[in-house]
């Protein structure tokens, strides 16, 4: 009878022979090889993370059922403490005990751990090793992505400076990449990959902690007993400045604090390529939204001005009446938004609030200011990073633009300054826009 591959039998034999002092190699595919080179058998072991004794027995029966005698199959399926393999390997009457199987798994696991240590001998983490497969643009503006590895190829997208794609192959000085919805070729001289991409990826990538609990408590120290520094709502995204055992240090408006890994998911965010179709659609959408917002804001400003004028002329008005805040009359602009927002400086900060007079949080303040101009924005600083049109750099910012930070958002008022609902201690204040690292700038008008 021809010898067949028997996973458990081979493992048991390997564990029982005189090589018991050796560690058995376990590769990613699960094969134990080079221990019994003359046996001619495929030595395989199921995944160490999911293998149970019953799983192994079931696998033996499944893979070798066509070669088992009826009695052997019956015994194997019966759950007996030993699995007879006399009918599996020619002229063999050996048995594989549960103990032998378990010993083999333990030995194999030990070797797997050694393999893991060896694979990390470079000192790089698994994530950093993955960075080697990235292709990162190093250009002044962007590098074209083409459908062929040639300058004659059609442009299918753009990989902007510090944007990232995944390496597929190299052809005559061109890298084939996949990035976002784009797949094509970029000229290698304008990009880095391999070992050179590892450190650059840390610089251009943004380490993000996304909140997974309703209200996250950010603490002054990495301990559940530490004082609470601030609160962050669910799905908000925080910049990670340091990773510890079970904790991450994050940047919030109140300062740097710590959150437990249990309540966030960690990821590294990279900017991806943009296809030509996506670019055209984005530009058209931004232009349409800008015009619609301007029209809505103009109408809202005119209505508010008319209402304010009528109210001031009414004989029923009195000096004791509550102060009315109205957007400036005339055509809407970012400057009008900024001027309107400045009226509320000194009012309180309230977590989760949206009242410009009685208290709002950062995104609630921005949302309520723009609501007076007929624009609906989300009550989320993370979501605000995707509204309107992108602005490249603070030097190009205009009054009314949204300035987005880690877990925070503000309104630009010009001259390098912002107005924002900062913290419960400070309320709504004016600050320098670069007092923290800016994640993005978005223009509504």
Whether the pLDDT of residue 330 is over 70: the answer is no
Instruction: Tell me how far apart the alpha carbons of residues 341 and 328 are, in angstroms, rounded to a whole number.
Output: 11
Judge whether 312 lies within some domain.
no
- The number of angstroms, rounded, from the C-alpha of 392 to the middle of its chain's C-alpha atoms is 22
Total structural domains within the chain: 4
User: CA 246 to CA 230: how far, in whole Å?
Assistant: 19
* CA 162 to the chain's CA centroid: 17
Q: Answer with the one of 204, 222, 242 that is the final residue of a domain.
A: 204
The whole-number average pLDDT for the span 90-99 is 44
* Residue 49, domain member (yes or no): yes
Task: Tell me: do 188 and 248 sit in the same domain.
Answer: no
> pTM for the complete prediction?
0.54
**pLDDT tens, position by position, 394-421:** 998 999 999 999 999 999 999 999 999 9
Are 386 and 298 members of one domain?
Answer: yes
Place of tokens 């609630």: 364
100 and 222: one domain? no
Task: Indicate whether 115 and 171 sit together in one domain.
Answer: no
**pLDDT at residue 45, as a whole number:** 33
How many angstroms from the chain centroid is the CA of residue 316? Answer: 57
315 domain-assigned: no
- Domain closes at, from 101, 119, 137: 119
439 shares a domain with 291: yes
Average pLDDT, the chain: 76
Whether residue 276 lies inside any domain: the answer is: no
Q: Are strands 359-360 and 402-405 parallel, antiparallel or unpaired?
A: unpaired
Give the least confident one: 29-33, 296-300, 434-438. Answer: 29-33
Phi first, then psi, for residue 256 (nearest 5°) are -85, 130
In a domain, residue 83? The reply is yes
Mean pLDDT is lowest, of 216-230, 257-271, 324-338, 427-441, for: 324-338
Q: Which domain holds residue 364?
A: 286-305+326-443
CATH number at residue 245: 2.30.30.40
Give the confidence band of 312 by pLDDT, cuts at 50, 70, 90: low
DSSP-assigned letters across all residues of 345-382: TTPPB-TT-EETTTEE-HHHHHHHHHHTTT----S-TT
Share of the chain above pLDDT 70, in %: 67
Instruction: Among 67, 86, 119, give the residue marking a domain's end.
Output: 119
Q: Are residues 393 and 296 in the same domain?
A: yes
Please check whether residue 1 lies inside any domain of the structure: no
Which pLDDT score is estimated for 77? 39
Structure tokens given for 74:
């019956």
pLDDT of residue 5: 44
Confidence grade of residue 123 (pLDDT, cut at 50, 70, 90): confident
- The mean-pLDDT minimum among 33-37, 297-301, 341-345, 441-445 falls in 33-37
Assess whether 412 and 299 both reside in one domain: yes
pLDDT over 80 at 122, yes or no: no
Is residue 180 located within the same domain as residue 257?
A: no
Pick from 337, 250, 246: which is nearest to 300 by CA?
337
Q: CA-to-CA distance for 145 and 377, rounded, in angstroms? A: 34
Whether the Cβ atoms of residue 96 and residue 83 lie closer than 8 Å to each other: yes
Both 134 and 22 in one domain: the answer is no
The predicted-structure confidence for 1-12, as pLDDT tens digits, reads as follows 444 444 444 444
The reply to whether 67 and 171 lie within a common domain is: no
Please check whether residues 140 and 197 belong to one and the same domain: yes
Is there a single domain that holds both residue 413 and residue 367? Answer: yes
| Separation CA 123–CA 111 (nearest Å) | 19
Number of helical H runs and strand E runs in the chain: 9, 27
| In a domain? residue 275 | no
pLDDT band, very low/low/confident/very high, at 43 (cuts 50, 70, 90): very low
What percent of the chain shows pLDDT beyond 90? 49
8-state DSSP, 177: E
Closest CA to 277 of 157, 430, 132, 120: 157
313 falls in which pLDDT band (50, 70, 90)?
Answer: low
pLDDT exceeds cutoff 60 at 345: yes
Instruction: Give 48's DSSP letter.
Output: T
The residue-averaged pLDDT of 103-110 equals 43
The pLDDT confidence band at residue 430, using thresholds 50, 70 and 90, is very high
Residue 319 pLDDT grade (very low, low, confident, very high; cuts 50, 70, 90): very low
Q: If you average pLDDT over residues 37-66, what whole number do you get?
A: 40
pLDDT at 87: 37
For residue 360, the domain's CATH number is 3.90.1720.10
In angstroms and rounded to an integer, the radius of gyration of the C-alpha atoms of the chain is 32
Is residue 318 a part of any domain in this protein? no
């Amino acid at each position: 009878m021809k010898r067949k591959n028997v996973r458990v039998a081979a493992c048991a034999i390997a564990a029982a022979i005189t090589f018991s002092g050796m560690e058995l190699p376990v590769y990613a595919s699960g094969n134990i090889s080079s221990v019994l080179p003359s046996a001619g058998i495929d030595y395989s072991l199921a995944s160490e993370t999911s293998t149970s004794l019953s799983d192994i027995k079931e696998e033996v029966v499944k893979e070798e059922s066509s070669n088992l005698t009826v009695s052997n199959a019956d015994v194997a399926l019966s759950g007996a403490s030993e699995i007879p393999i006399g009918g599996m390997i020619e002229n063999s009457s050996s048995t594989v005990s549960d103990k032998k199987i378990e010993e083999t798994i333990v030995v194999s696991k030990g070797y797997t751990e050694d393999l893991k240590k060896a694979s990390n001998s470079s000192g790089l983490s698994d994530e950093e090793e993955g960075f080697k497969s990235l292709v990162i643009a190093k250009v002044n503006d962007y590098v074209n992505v083409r459908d062929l590895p040639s300058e004659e190829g059609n442009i299918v997208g753009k990989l902007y400076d510090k944007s990232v794609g995944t390496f597929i192959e190299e052809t005559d000085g061109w890298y084939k990449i996949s990035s976002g919805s784009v797949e094509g070729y970029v000229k290698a001289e304008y990009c880095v990959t391999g070992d050179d991409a590892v450190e650059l990826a840390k610089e251009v990538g943004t380490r993000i902690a996304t909140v997974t609990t309703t209200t996250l408590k950010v603490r002054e120290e990495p301990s559940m007993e530490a004082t609470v520094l601030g609160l962050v709502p669910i799905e908000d995204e925080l910049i990670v400045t340091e990773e510890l055992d079970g904790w991450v240090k994050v940047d919030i408006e109140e300062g740097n604090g710590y959150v437990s890994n249990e309540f966030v998911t960690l990821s590294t965010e990279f900017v991806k390529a943009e296809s030509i179709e996506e670019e055209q659609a984005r530009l058209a959408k931004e232009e349409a939204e800008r015009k619609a917002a301007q029209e809505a804001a103009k109408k809202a400003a005119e209505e508010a001005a008319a209402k304010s004028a009528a109210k001031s002329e009414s004989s029923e008005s009195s000096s004791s009446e509550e102060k009315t805040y109205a957007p400036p009359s005339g055509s809407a602009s970012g400057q009008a938004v900024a001027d309107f927002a400045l009226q509320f400086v000194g009012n309180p900060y309230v977590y989760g609030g949206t009242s410009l007079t009685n208290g709002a949080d950062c995104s609630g303040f921005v949302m309520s200011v723009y609501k007076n101009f007929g624009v609906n924005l989300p009550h989320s600083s993370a979501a605000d990073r995707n509204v309107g049109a992108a602005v490249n750099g603070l030097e190009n910012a205009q009054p009314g633009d949204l300035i987005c930070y880690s877990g925070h958002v503000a309104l630009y008022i010009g001259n390098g300054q912002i107005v924002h609902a900062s913290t419960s201690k400070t309320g709504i204040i004016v600050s320098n826009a670069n007092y923290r690292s800016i994640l993005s700038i978005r223009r509504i008008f």
